[in-house]
Amino acid sequence: MSTSNPPASAAVLAARARWARQRRRLIGYGQWDPFMPAEPVRAHLKALAAVGMPRKGVEQALRLQPDALRHVTSGTYGYEPGKKVTREIGQAVLGFWPVLEDFPDSATVDPTGTRRRVEALAVVGWSRAELAKRAGRSYCSFKNSLRFDRTSVPLAKLVVRLYDELWNQRPEDHGVREWVAERCRRQARAAGFYGPLAWDDDLIDNPSALPQTDAQVSLLAQGENLAARFLLGESVILDAAARREVLLHLMEWADLTVEQVAERLEMTEAAVSRAWERAKEKAREEGRTVPWRRAYVPQQLCEAVAAA
């Protein structure tokens, strides 16, 4: 493994743990085969390349040696692409689908999530001119970059940072003139943009996802203490802030797996893991106690105790 690559993400570590468990199980059954067909891996690498993740980016994200996948995609030393690949590497690749943080800065990605975040911030009152100013870019450069069929990874990451910082902040509270913010809101409404509450973090980047429109937010989403009422079993619709609060409570205090938390909140496991890691990182940055899984007991440990 290369020591120059960044630490593996939670999703990568989970994939490796699944592979290790499967390997031990198959060895115990006498069915372990260290190799697997390369064609499914090659097809998956092509699909990753189509969304902007190059082979070298996959190797870096999975913390593989440089050119570890070269024999799968193009062959090496004059030989044709290989027909076999080690099972460890093959399953790691097949179980990998990148989030934005995995892409190298030289890559480009689908612009859907970037545009939706800018539009959602416009509903709140943040104009593109103000976002460009906060991003340290010229207004024309920022505006024009949103028109392309692909978005550079640095720009996409920059917009994510702005969105996470400003989605629940009134521009008037940060030095923006009231008439400027109100004009931005009016133009956003006229353009049919959707605000932050219409998008879940795990859906906003998906081009096929549909927004949760205001028509779906009824009396069930009104009132205070939405998170507490949801945890007590009341049928309420969580806004983004309440959903985040419930997620952190369940991850820290409930004896639930990530899969179970995701199912309860109707999210993907990847989105739950991202939100949990983001909360821990924010706590570290602010010097607060980092949340940890106080109540969760892995099933393997329960089985071991029961068998003892």
pLDDT in tens, 199-256: 877 778 878 778 876 434 333 344 567 888 888 887 667 777 788 889 999 998 888 8
Mean pLDDT of 6-14: 62
266 pLDDT band, cuts 50/70/90, is: confident
Which residues neighbour 237 within 8 Å (Cβ) at sequence distance 6 or greater? 216, 217, 218, 220, 221, 226
pLDDT for residue 85: 83
Question: Which class in CATH covers the domain with range 219-300?
Answer: mainly alpha
Tokens 């909140």, located at residue:
265
Q: In the predicted model, is pLDDT for residue 163 greater than 70?
A: yes
Q: Which residue has the higher pLDDT, 38 or 221?
A: 38
pLDDT at 186: 92
Return residue ranges of the chain for CATH 1.10.10. 219-300
Closest C-alpha among 198, 237, 173, 172 to residue 120: 198
pLDDT at 219: 37
Please give the model's pTM, rounded to 2 decimal places: 0.56
Across 117-138, average pLDDT: 92
Per-residue pLDDT reduced to its tens digit, 147-162: 898 999 999 999 999 9
